[in-house]
Structure 1
């Protein structure tokens, strides 16, 4: 129940703020272009709260918090008094209509830059970009990386944390066949190499696996912290505090070794030697089966005690001063916008799976998780979603802001608006595409939950 409350609460807060800022862009520019605004609503459906200001604008909060809208005076939606015809949206010049429609996505980008600025000033905590030993034959191994190196730059951009490394690599890999890397080895020597991306999958789910770059982690003692009810470990009789010693007469040196073996052996029966309260005993466990990314992996069903002192030397903080963060926040907003657009393009070409399209359920889960982690994590999440809203709304799909901009752009070029028949056909097409996208997003949500 607490997880559900965090998810619902985080989702409602994030979406309400992002939608309010988007719609305020439409509202603010409309007022300055001389168009009368009738209602500003957060959410759809029946209003649960509403007030009217001195200018006659109705400010409302509706029951369904999945969007919002700004209703303007428009002769296409009802009768307009002769004295107010000059205030109607449809009678505004095409350039003013373009400005009003474009303002929503533009305000999303402005909000994202402001959120990124706050994140950079507050500081992002993470782990240093140290890498584990790459798999034999991987791209990283062919470069000569052996594990323990710290990545310093990707392309011409420096990285301070593993999160930086991940985002920079995904961003730059989308448009390149090779990528320069610079790293510091165990002898503190700085070295350079070229990362060959020609044979790797660009989907973020598989990119790092194909390259062979995984975060380094210190050896974690194989001592259980929690045993999940109903899972394989609980059914076999394991208890919190058990120290895992051997499996199949193979000595367990650390938790990572055991976890990797479990993943590769779903459904197997294995004897595990443990130490409990000073006594050594053996338990038989039937490993569970779990589907992940289209393949079945083994599942033990217990978490490990993870001493925080093991990670002390791996922690890093990326923080900028207030002035220094301003251009970097703008650059980050541009980078994320470009990456979002290129990811969509790669989905169309099949290079990136459509499983990366998330619906409201997955977004709510991430919202709740980020809110629990802390303010900086939640602000980062909101910045990413704000960028996504801005980019998606600018796509030239009728119904979205980008579709309206397409219509108005054609009108500006040809000197007259498209016929009502053409616009209605475009709107029907837009609704069909939007419904298909929402269906895909909900399907991915359900598959994720069932998985």
Structure 2
């Protein structure tokens, strides 16, 4: 890890603390709006490092293990929101029941639980919108920003503002898709499907071969048509809309990648844990603020998605229990919920161990240890 170990640690703590705060703030804000008393708002797990009480009696604190956080509401038995033994009301006064999470209506409890992942998605959309409006898009859509004079694109009548939706019948969602398809044609004519002023136009363009010289003096030819992407910065309205659509797009790509891992089409080496996050946090922090914000936005989307998985202990597991309650008209038994949380804990810990193992393998820690021992 270049750039200093301290840089990586600081970047990791900032990234994770912000994302955990955003997630837990979603739970906290909606819970307070629904009259739930919040006992603890913690960034991290384990023993407390430092904290304070606010006027509502909530303990805000930072804890030793920075790998997550929690909001403990009145009526919770623990940080995972397992209901306390007295949730049936026999041990609570009417005043206490009024501020207890587990005595709220089903719709209120579901909204509080879902608010965490939703906050992550909203955070990502806002961050991406700000980036689009200030520094543009590093992976711009297939919209033409400028057309070079006396180029094949100019001769074919392409103009700035045209959006290329397909090349030779293959859809293009990014400008990079257009570039790849043109290079793959190796100088042969390409059929561009263009969206212009609400109309669809098909235009054939024959790339010109341009000789490029590398830094080491090597020369090779690249097919070009003479168009440059519209990489921004964009208007506030366009940026706001793009922040939402980009969040949805990244979430879709993430789910697709996970599906490929489950079906065996992709290897599990891409799964990373805390060590990978720390490494990437340090790497992007050294590139610049924009790169770090992009990384945080992507990580926030992943955090929101993971928490929606129907695994007990995660928000999706709670929502699964609430769906059962909505269908059956009564909550799942306390014993069944406890067993579910134990299984969920085992699954989460297993995934963390596996991801950390991947991190160590990718960092070649075991090869280093073998070399030291031998």
Output the TM-score relative to the length of structure 1.
0.62
- The CA deviation at 1:24 is 0.4
The one-character-per-residue Cα deviations of 1:77-106 (angstroms, maximum 9, x if unpaired) are 377651312211111111111011000000
Equivalent residues of 1:122, 1:319 under 8 A apart? yes
Aligned runs of 1:68-83 on 2, under 5 Å? 68-74=69-75, 76-77=83-84, 81-82=92-93, 83=95
Bigger shift: residues 412-421 or 120-129: 120-129
Q: In the alignment, what sits opposite 2:145? A: none
Q: Does 1:123 align with 2:130?
A: no
2-side partners of 1:105 and 1:126: how far apart? 25
Partner of 1:204: none
Give, in whole Å, the separation in 1 of the partners of 2:139 and 2:313: 43
Partner of 1:178: none
Residue from 391, 402, 413 that aligns with 2:305 = 391
The answer to whether the aligner puts 1:321 opposite 2:235 as a matched pair is yes
Aligned residue number for residue 373 of structure 1: 287
What do the CA deviations read for 1:174-229 (whole angstroms, capped 9, x no partner)?
A: xxxxxxx5789898975349xxxxxxxxxxxxxxxxxxxxxx9953333xxxxxxx
Residue of structure 2 in register with 1:35 after alignment? 36
Which residue of the other structure, out of 250, 264, 273, is the alignment partner of 1:350? 264
When residues 340 and 97 of structure 1 are mapped into structure 2, their CA distance, relative to the original with a 3 A threshold, is same
Match of 1:210 in 2: none
Q: Which residue, 79, 94, 104 being the options, matches 2:116? A: 104
RMSD: 3.4
Asked if 1:61 is matched to 2:62, the reply is yes
Mapping for residues 138-153 of structure 1, pairs under 5 Å: 153=165
**Residue in 2 that maps onto 1:92:** 104
Is this contact kept in 2: 1:127–1:315, CA < 8 A?
no
Deviations 1:394-451 (Å, cap 9, x if unpaired)?
0001111000100011101110011122212211221121122111111110111008
Question: Structure 2, unaligned stretches of length 5 or more?
Answer: 77-82, 142-162, 194-209, 221-226, 366-374
Looking at structure 2, the residues matched to 347 and 404 of structure 1 have their Cα atoms a distance apart, in angstroms, of 25
Measured in 2, the distance between the counterparts of 1:43 and 1:33 equals 25
Cross-structure match for 1:14: 15
**Inter-CA distance 109–410: structure 2 relative to 1 (3 Å threshold):** same
2:210 paired with 1:220: no
SS at match of 2:320: helix
Report the CA distance between 1:159 and its aligned residue. 3.1
Q: Which residue of structure 1 aligns with residue 353 of structure 2?
A: 439
How many residues are treated as equivalent by the alignment?
Answer: 308
Q: Contact (CA 8 Å) 1:44, 1:64: kept in 2 or not?
A: yes
Does the CA contact (< 8 Å) of 2:274 and 2:356 recur in 1?
yes
Counterpart CA distance in 2 for 1:153 and 1:61 is: 48
Residues 1:340 and 1:184: Cα distance change in structure 2 (over 3 Å): closer
Q: TM-score, normalised by structure 2?
A: 0.73
What is the CA–CA distance in structure 2 between the aligned matches of 1:16 and 1:321, rounded to whole Å?
Answer: 31
Runs (4+) of structure 1 moved beyond 6 Å?
182-189, 313-316
> Are the aligned partners of 1:182 and 1:191 in contact in 2 as well (CA < 8 Å)?
no
Give the drift of 1:315: 9.6
